[in-house]
């Protein structure tokens, strides 16, 4: 752990108070960031609602189908940390515009594809843009919303993903059934293009800069600090994404195997998102008020684990498992995304979120792929859901390792301020 004498003081720990103009503009930034999250989700989730049509038309296996979701996240394993470094040099505006160009271009390439290889290439290109945005967006909120408002900002941020996913599962499945799955991907490409125009028009430089501090501090020192303090959150985020992306990828197909229509399967899968839509922003406010972030991670993760286990058997009504899962997932992401602000100085936030995104993408890449392989090997969805349950159970357990780290950080900061 870093010695107390090396813990930075002053603005390196607490962001400066925003001017009145910047304080008002932060709500516009929150709107742009939230809409960007929706664009990300609407491209990301364009595959699961029509995955049965893709399997049928291209003649691919469930493992290959899972790779279409995983492939979207694969670039983030490589580019998240470099994007985090570049964000401190060039700022979020220029990098964000480039990210949107890749997101829209990849979605368009996927929509034009007639082979599995071309479809996967489009998903990889879109993933480069999407995962770059995921590194840029959360630190923007932390810089514009500081102190005890971070939970609220993160709650709205994650609610926007929920809204987009609800739209994806309820609208894309009908578009795919009425037209083709390529039409669904065309719609997602258009959405990304419009989002990029909005982002380029409204995003401003951060209200305060830590560039001089970042130049003085070496990358090695900042990266070492982030690794020591954030690794339990990164591991927890890995397991959660492995579980949830596997669930979202294969639940529509599992329900269709039980005799459901594509539209009904999409609606049932999206039910997990309705409690999150109603509660995630409230959860952010509650997290700000109570500061019991780890409690919400463990409680929400436990409920989600129980709900995924319920999907392993047709005896449990799907809607009940989805609603319990939605309740649990309402608290987990906002609480976890609020914790880096307590553990690292502002100059290291880009790297902290880059680490989270790297592990998120590892989870997304590995979770659906192995869940699909288990489905291919067993011929049924019971064992894949048990595997997803194991993924999810490890998420809150991994987060508990943050307790001694957070205690030491608090002691060091008290000593540094003495």
CATH of the domain at 33: 1.20.1250.20
Please state, as a whole number, how many other Cβ atoms lie within 10 Å of the Cβ of residue 55: 16
The confidence score (pLDDT) of residue 18 equals 52
Query: For the ranges 99-108, 192-201, 280-289, which has the lowest average pLDDT?
Result: 280-289
Domain assignment present for residue 204? The answer is: yes
Range picked from 45-54, 117-126, 131-140, 337-346 for highest mean pLDDT: 117-126
Q: What is the mean pLDDT of residues 169-178?
A: 84
The confidence score (pLDDT) of residue 385 equals 92
Query: For the ranges 86-90, 320-324, 368-372, which has the lowest average pLDDT?
Result: 86-90
- Using CA atoms, how far apart are residues 161 and 136, in angstroms rounded to an integer? 16
User: Position of tokens 């997803």?
Assistant: 388
The confidence score (pLDDT) of residue 69 equals 76
Q: Cβ distance 56 to 204 under 8 Å?
A: no
Residue 135 has pLDDT above 80, yes or no: yes
Range picked from 28-32, 194-198, 259-263 for highest mean pLDDT: 194-198
Domain assignment present for residue 383? The answer is: yes
Q: What percent of the chain has pLDDT over 90?
A: 26
What are the tens digits of pLDDT across the range 51-90?
888 888 888 887 788 778 777 878 888 888 888 888 777 7
Q: What is the mean pLDDT of residues 246-262?
A: 84
Domain assignment present for residue 198? The answer is: yes
- Using CA atoms, how far apart are residues 116 and 114, in angstroms rounded to an integer? 7
Range picked from 3-7, 10-14, 48-52 for highest mean pLDDT: 48-52
160: nearest Cα among 137, 179, 139: 137
Q: 16 by DSSP, 3-state: which?
A: coil
392: nearest Cα among 289, 298, 288: 298
Domain assignment present for residue 5? The answer is: no
Question: Can you give the pTM of this predicted structure?
Answer: 0.72
Q: 226 by DSSP, 3-state: which?
A: helix
156: nearest Cα among 170, 169, 172, 137: 137
What are the tens digits of pLDDT across the range 301-320?
999 999 999 888 777 888 88
Q: Which residue range forms the structural domain that includes residue 86? A: 17-417
User: Position of tokens 């071309």?
Assistant: 118
Residue with the larger pLDDT of the pair 413 and 417: 413
Q: Cβ distance 196 to 101 under 8 Å?
A: yes
Question: Which residues lie below 8 Å from residue 317, measured CB to CB, with a gap of 6+?
Answer: none
The confidence score (pLDDT) of residue 183 equals 92
Q: 330 by DSSP, 3-state: which?
A: coil
Domain assignment present for residue 346? The answer is: yes
Domain assignment present for residue 10? The answer is: no
Q: Cβ distance 123 to 47 under 8 Å?
A: yes
Domain assignment present for residue 8? The answer is: no
Angle between helices 116-144 and 20-44 (to 10 degrees): 160
| Burial call 122-157: b when 16+ CB within 10 Å, e when fewer | bbbbbbbbbbbbbbbbbbbbbbbbbeebbbbbbbbb
Cα distances from 29 to residues 24, 92, 141, 209, 321, in angstroms, run 9, 12, 8, 16, 35
Count, residues in the chain: 418
Q: What is the mean pLDDT of residues 30-51?
A: 90
The confidence score (pLDDT) of residue 414 equals 74
The confidence score (pLDDT) of residue 315 equals 75
Residue 398 has pLDDT above 60, yes or no: yes
- Using CA atoms, how far apart are residues 413 and 284, in angstroms rounded to an integer? 25
Total domains, the chain = 1
* C-alpha neighbours within 13 Å on the C-beta side of residue 71: 21
Domain assignment present for residue 282? The answer is: yes
Q: What is the mean pLDDT of residues 140-160?
A: 77
Q: What percent of the chain has pLDDT over 70?
A: 90
What are the tens digits of pLDDT across the range 176-212?
888 888 999 999 999 999 999 999 998 887 665 444 4
Dig out the tokens for 184 from the structure. Answer: 């669904």
């Amino acid at each position: 752990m870093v010695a107390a004498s090396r813990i930075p003081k002053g603005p390196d720990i607490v962001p400066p108070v925003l001017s009145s103009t910047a304080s008002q503009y932060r709500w516009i930034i929150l709107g742009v960031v939230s809409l960007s999250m929706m664009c990300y989700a609407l491209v990301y989730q364009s595959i699961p609602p029509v995955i049965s049509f893709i399997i049928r038309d291209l003649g691919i296996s469930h493992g290959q189908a899972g790779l279409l979701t995983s492939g979207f996240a694969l670039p983030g394993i490589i580019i998240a940390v470099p994007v985090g470094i570049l964000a401190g040099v060039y700022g979020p505006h220029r990098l964000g515009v480039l990210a949107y160009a890749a997101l829209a271009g990849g979605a368009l390439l996927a929509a034009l594809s007639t082979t599995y290889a071309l479809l996967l290439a489009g998903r990889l290109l879109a993933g480069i843009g999407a995962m770059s945005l995921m590194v840029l967006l959360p630190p923007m909120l932390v810089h514009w919303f500081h102190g005890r408002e971070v939970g609220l900002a993160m709650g709205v941020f994650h609610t926007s993903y929920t809204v987009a996913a609800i739209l994806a599962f309820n609208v894309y499945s009908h578009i795919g059934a009425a037209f083709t799955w390529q039409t669904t991907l065309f719609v997602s490409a258009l959405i990304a293009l419009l989002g990029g125009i909005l982002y380029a028009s409204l995003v401003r430089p951060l209200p305060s800069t830590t560039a001089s501090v970042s130049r003085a501090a070496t990358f090695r020192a900042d990266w070492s600090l982030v690794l020591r303090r954030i690794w339990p959150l990164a591991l927890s985020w890995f397991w959660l994404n492995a579980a949830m992306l596997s669930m979202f990828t294969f639940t529509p197909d599992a329900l269709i195997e039980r005799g459901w229509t594509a539209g009904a399967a999409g609606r049932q899968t999206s039910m997990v998102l309705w409690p999150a839509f109603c509660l995630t922003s409230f959860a952010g406010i509650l997290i700000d008020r109570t500061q019991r972030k780890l409690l919400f991670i463990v409680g929400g993760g436990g409920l989600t684990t129980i709900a995924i286990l319920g999907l392993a058997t047709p005896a449990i009504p799907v809607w009940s498992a989805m609603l319990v899962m939605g309740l649990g997932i309402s608290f987990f992401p906002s609480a976890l995304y609020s914790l880096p602000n307590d553990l690292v100085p502002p100059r290291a936030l880009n790297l902290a979120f880059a680490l989270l995104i790297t592990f998120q993408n590892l989870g997304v890449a590995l979770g659906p792929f192995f869940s699909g392989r288990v489905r291919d090997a067993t011929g049924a969805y019971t064992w894949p859901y048990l595997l997803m349950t194991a993924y999810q159970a490890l998420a809150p357990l991994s987060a508990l390792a943050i307790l001694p780290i957070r205690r030491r950080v608090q002691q060091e900061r008290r000593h540094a301020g003495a």
